[in-house]
Amino acid sequence: MDLSDAQNASPFRGKRVYMIGIGGAGMSGLARLLRAQGAHVAGSDREPSDLTAALLQAGIGVTFEQERGELPACDLVVTSAAVGPEHPQVRTARARGVEVWLYARALGESMRGTHGVAVAGTHGKSTTTTMLGCALTDCGLDPTVIVGATSTQLGNGCLGAEAPAAGFRTGSGAVVVEACEYNRSFHSLRPRVACITNVEADHLDCYGTFDAVIESFRRFAALLPSAAEGGLLVIGHENAQRGVVAAGLACEVQTVGYSPDADWCVRYDAATREVGLRRDGAERAAWRLRVPGAHNALNSATAWIMATALGASDDRAAASLSEFRGADRRMQLLGEVAAPGGVVRVIDDYGHHPTEVEVTLRALREAEKPQSRGGRLICVFQPHQHSRTRHLLDQFAQSFGEADVVLVPPIYFVRDTERERDLVSSEDLVAKLRETGVEAHAFAGFEQIVERLSGTVRSGDVVVVMGAGPVWKVGRGLLAAGTRQG
């Protein structure tokens, strides 16, 4: 179904849709998709950003005054997951009798009548979605893509000219979306093709147990239509609980992983970053990655499998992946600052789960090799949510083995209760890290960390700033402050 058919079939056609939190990566992409499907779209956010500026330039109205609860005439309000029921504009909408939908529900409804593609998993969703979107673009399949990260390549593919960083692309082909499992929101989607990269314990504040997480992914997979109707699930062979998640599905199921028993067997050479992909004993494709890490090799293999299943050329998809330069805040090199005798490299990353921390630090150790230059791998890590930190504290304690120094600001307080905030602190994580032999220090705020780094980093050091909260300010603060010059 092309874009004009999807517009005619869209439940949003002709409706006035107001989006609260429109400046988020996913929400801004959805705003453009709804407008392409015939809706009249406007919205609000807390403060201006590059994404809101791009929306305004595209003719989508955005305001930044939310506290008074003013709301223009509209037929539907869509909110981001971060907007609660007590938000002033939400209260106004309910008082008027206007329906209020969460982002995930609106995204799912927008997929009706399209060739929907969903990328799910505890880790790797944003990178895999961006890789897939770029590959489909480079193969001339003109996808619509909505992802929770921005990239300068997404708009034009990896083989075209760079565009302003964005978390969306609007096209006439398949609708490819990042499928978030938080609060079971991905159950609202309507995919025909999907992948599950991995399944691990996370978001236990809303799930309670790991078994509930697994069951939620099983329900997501069950949304896919039968194989006869084109339903396909690509699922991790090793770490995606496939025995439970994929049991009894009517869709076609293909597994991907490093095991020779996987339907698609991945090989990866960390020294050359070459990725190979075999099926039925024969190598089907190979490419060389620009982004490091065995986890990114697996992400790229998953993207290739899905892209070719959607009609992409084998060789063209591989060529696209070989030119992929990453998504923002995914091992993103921010720049270098001078230090006595050389430079310090500063990297920004979104990782906030123990597995993400571990694989990212390992990939950076392999790729950057700070020890060969007499430097250290220094990690600034901001825990995200008190409940996640408390539930996964022991796992976090084992995830920083590749770091030489870990600096920890206060835990980012979001969605949790005040009671949760009292149960765990960044000092608890530091104490656990020290028990494992890792040099770790707690700080009262970002400014103190920037000051510490500016005065102590040395030539050859690599500083990686990690976390889903505002910890990104540390990396940019370090670049702005520079370092001592001897």
In the chain, the percentage of residues whose pLDDT exceeds 70 is 97
CATH number, position 30: 3.40.50.720
Average pLDDT over the chain reads 93
Q: What is the pLDDT of residue 285?
A: 98
Residues 193 and 54 in one domain: no
Confirm whether 22 is domain-assigned: yes
pLDDT tier at 484, thresholds 50, 70, 90: low
Confirm whether 393 is domain-assigned: yes
* Structure token digits, residue 14: 């002709």
Point out the domain boundary residue: 262, 295, 322. Answer: 322
CB 366 within 8 A of CB 270: yes
Q: Which whole number is the average pLDDT over 80-105?
A: 94
Residues 360 and 313 in one domain: no
Point out the domain boundary residue: 281, 300, 322. Answer: 322
Q: Would you say the pTM of this structure is higher than 0.85?
A: yes
CATH number, position 250: 3.40.1190.10
Residues 308 and 340 in one domain: no
Confirm whether 106 is domain-assigned: no
Residues 197 and 240 in one domain: yes
Residues 276 and 377 in one domain: no
Confirm whether 327 is domain-assigned: no
d(Cα 139, Cα 400) in Å, to the nearest integer?
A: 39
pLDDT tier at 341, thresholds 50, 70, 90: confident
Confirm whether 107 is domain-assigned: no
d(Cα 432, Cα 428) in Å, to the nearest integer?
A: 6
The model's pLDDT over 267-316, given as tens digits with 9 standing for 90+, comes to: 999 999 999 999 999 999 999 999 999 999 999 999 999 999 999 999 99
Residues 143 and 248 in one domain: yes
**Buried/exposed 176-198: b ≥16 CB within 10 Å, e otherwise:** bbbbbbebbbbbbbbbbbbbbbb
For the packed helices 294-309 and 125-138, what is the interaxial angle rounded to 10 degrees?
A: 40
Judge whether residue 7 has pLDDT over 70: no
Confirm whether 108 is domain-assigned: no
Residues 452 and 383 in one domain: yes
d(Cα 389, Cα 425) in Å, to the nearest integer?
A: 8
Strand partners for 471: none
Residue carrying the six token digits 């039925």: 280
**Buried/exposed 292-312: b ≥16 CB within 10 Å, e otherwise:** bbbbbbbbbbbbbbbbbbbeb
Confirm whether 90 is domain-assigned: yes
pLDDT tier at 427, thresholds 50, 70, 90: very high
* Structure token digits, residue 438: 């890792």
Q: Which residue has the higher pLDDT, 415 or 349?
A: 349
pLDDT tier at 438, thresholds 50, 70, 90: very high
Q: Which whole number is the average pLDDT over 333-348?
A: 92
* Structure token digits, residue 424: 């765990």
Residues 207 and 315 in one domain: yes
Q: Which whole number is the average pLDDT over 426-440?
A: 96
Residues 55 and 202 in one domain: no
Residues 280 and 242 in one domain: yes
Q: Which whole number is the average pLDDT over 357-370?
A: 94
Judge whether residue 485 has pLDDT over 90: no
Residues 132 and 189 in one domain: yes
Residues 121 and 184 in one domain: yes
Please state the domain count of the chain: 3
**Residues in Cβ contact with 40 at an 8 Å cutoff, skipping those fewer than 6 apart:** 14, 15, 16, 17
pLDDT tier at 486, thresholds 50, 70, 90: very low
Residue carrying the six token digits 């006439």: 172
Neighbours of 149 (CB within 10 A): 23
* Structure token digits, residue 323: 């030119």
* Structure token digits, residue 380: 């600034």
Confirm whether 356 is domain-assigned: yes
Point out the domain boundary residue: 68, 101, 134. Answer: 101
**Domain assignment of residue 35, given as a range:** 3-101
Query: In this predicted structure, which of 18-22, 37-41, 50-54 has the lowest mean pLDDT?
Result: 50-54
